[in-house]
Amino acid sequence: MQQRLTIPGLGENIEHAQVVRVLVEVGQDLAADQSVMELEAGKATVEVPAESAGTVVQILVSEGDEVDVGQAFLVLEASEGTPAATAPAAPAAPEPKPTPVAPVPAPDPSPEPPPKPPASKQPVRHVPAAPSVRRFAREIGIDVDTVEGTGSHGRVSLDDVKHHARELSQRRSEGLRVETPQLPDFSQWGTVRREPMSGIRRATAEHLAVSWTNVPRVTHFDSADITTLDSLRRKFADRAAAQGGKLTMAVMVVKTVAEALKKFPKFNASIDVAKREIVLKDYIHIGIAVATERGLMVPVLRDAGGKNMVQLAAEIDAVARRCREGNITLADLEGGTFTVTNLGAIGGSYFTPIVNYPEVAILGLGRAKRQPVVDENGEIVVRTILPLSLSYDHRLIDGAEAARFVRWVAEAIEEPLLLSLEGVS
């Protein structure tokens, strides 16, 4: 029996991907769960496995093609005795009908009206579905009992789950979509060239549009005297290098920010507009912006508040290398609670970074420069000054709170002992 393999769900709000590499050939025998294709989706490379064993009959896509979730990409002749992934199983028992609720009698004009009989509880809806289908639904974040099954007796198949996921994603996208004005014909003024956007650039554009549309942001500027901290960085750089990392100023700021988030938990939160709630997170996962030839990526450092600077230096070096080599995964890019972006190695001073939705704040680092400063004694001295730019979601964070947060970070940078004195365990 032939079956058509389709692009599986790739993550929340990811509807499209680009084929990076096809790993099989026509006539090749496959084992169940064997990787058959690599996709670039949401800035990460994802391997797509075969749903069952069989022989490749036809390959429907080529490297560089853009594909949609649910699109067929390969035709497989299933091995003898191997059922197709979407074949309906034995009929399940019919779903029980809800018990009707007894009618409520009209109020009696007497002083003591008769009590209303209690309403019967509606039975919980459990759709018939194979264990593999339920597992797949859990993995992509779908409640299988909300899916309409097209099989016998309403049985839910893999295709039903994928169709349901596509509809949810489309509804979310339509709710955020803003009509784009039509471009003029640029060729009337001269020669033009067109080239397709890469998967990473397209994902960046879509995510930044969501962030810009949903987050009313304000940017607060400040600076920190890093003269002492930079001296300590140079002194202990060899210790970090011995463990595979480079002790940069960005690493030291990430550690400082992680401690600040313990003291200012609102900056580590998100806003649930639908439920009118603030989601306060008890974990601190800091995203760091990494520029690559393929575009901007923001890998996430897990439990940044529980790691020392040497550990963070090694982890940042490793994750940045994976980004530049194209070996980053979707899991590496998800779950951030706060972002740090550093333009200091390139140049510039203050700028206005865009908040990385659904986070509520992002800290930008400019290039540190040596400049004259008037000290507390009225003397002019040369110090190294680091520009700091904090963009924040003004729906949750007020200007005074932003100023206190940045000032705490700046003072902790200027006086490293402050982390031990006022840091929160």
- Please list the active-site residues: 394
Burial of 301 (0-12, 13-18, 19+ CB in 10 A): buried
Q: Helices 227-242 and 249-263 sit at what angle, rounded to 10 degrees?
A: 110
User: Mapping DSSP to helix (H, G, I), strand (E, B) and coil, where does residue 67 land?
Assistant: strand
User: Residue 336 carries which side chain, given as an amino acid letter?
Assistant: G
Nearest-angstrom CA–CA distance, 205 and 225: 35
Cis peptide before 100 (omega within 30 of 0): no
Please identify which residue in the block is written with the tokens 């028992």.
Answer: 93
Within 10 A of 145 (CB to CB), how many other CB atoms are there?
13
Q: How far apart are CA 411 and CA 405, in angstroms?
A: 10
Give the C-alpha separation, 149 to 146, whole Å: 9
**What is the C-alpha to C-alpha distance for residues 385 and 3, in angstroms, rounded to an integer?**
63
